[in-house]
A and B are shown apart, each in its own frame.
Chain A
Amino acid sequence: MTTAPDTEARLKPLMLAALAGDKAAYRALLGDLGAHLKRYFARRLSNPAAADDLVQDTLLAIHTRRDTYDPAQPFTAWVHAIARYKLIDHFRRLKLRTTLPLEDDAALFAPDETGNATDRHDVEAALGTLPDRPADLIRQVKLEGASIAEAAQRTGMSESAVKVAIHRGLKALTARFSGGADDR
Chain B
Amino acid sequence: MTDDLIDRLAGELKPAPKRAVSRKLGMGVVAGALLAAIAMLAWLGLRPDLAEAMFGMMFWWKFLYTAAFVGLAFWAATRLARPGGSLRNPMMALFALIVIAGAGGIAQLLIMPPEMSRLLVMGGSALVCPFYIVALSIPVYAATALAMRRLAPTNLPAAGLAAGLLAGGTAAWVYAFHCTENGMPFLAIWYTTGILISAIAGAIVGRWALRW
A contact set with B: CB distance below 8 Å: 18-21, 23, 26-27, 30-31, 34, 38, 52, 55-56, 59-61, 63, 65-70, 73, 77-82, 84-85, 89
Contacts and interface: CB of A to CB of B under 8 A. Distances in A.
Contacts of B11: 23
Name A's interface SS: helix
B9 interface: yes
Given A19-B16, A52-B2, A27 B7 contact: yes
A77 B14 CA distance: 23
Contacts of A69: 82
Q: Which 9 A-B pairs give the minimum distances between C-beta atoms?
A: A81-B84, A81-B83, A67-B20, A21-B15, A27-B10, A85-B154, A65-B152, A30-B6, A19-B16
Contacts of B16: 19, 66-67
B105 to A, nearest CB: 37
Interface of B: 1-3, 5-7, 9-11, 13-17, 20-21, 81-84, 151-152, 154, 211
Given A52-B1, A65-B151, A82-B154, A59 B20 contact: no
Contacts of A38: 2
Contact of B154 (A23, A60, A66, A84): A84
Where chain B touches its partner, the secondary structure class is: loop
B17 A59 contact: no
Given A20-B15, A27-B7, A89 B211 contact: yes
A112 B151 CA distance: 48
A93 B90 CA distance: 32
A152 B11 CA distance: 74
Contacts of B9: 26, 30, 59-60, 63
Contacts, number: 76
B200 to A, nearest CB: 22
A56 B15 contact: no
A138 B7 CA distance: 72
Nearest to B12: A63
A79 B83 CA distance: 8
Contact of B17 (A67, A80, A82): A67
Among B5, B6, B7, max chain A CB count under 10 A is at: B6
Nearest to A20: B15
Contact of B82 (A18, A21, A31, A68): A68
Contacts of A61: 152
Given A26-B13, A68-B20, A68-B152, A85 B6 contact: no
A80 B13 contact: no
B6 A59 contact: yes
A85 B21 contact: no
B84 A78 contact: yes
Contacts of A27: 6-7, 10
Contacts of B81: 68
A45 to B, nearest CB: 15
A60 B82 contact: no
A81 B2 contact: no
B160 to A, nearest CB: 14
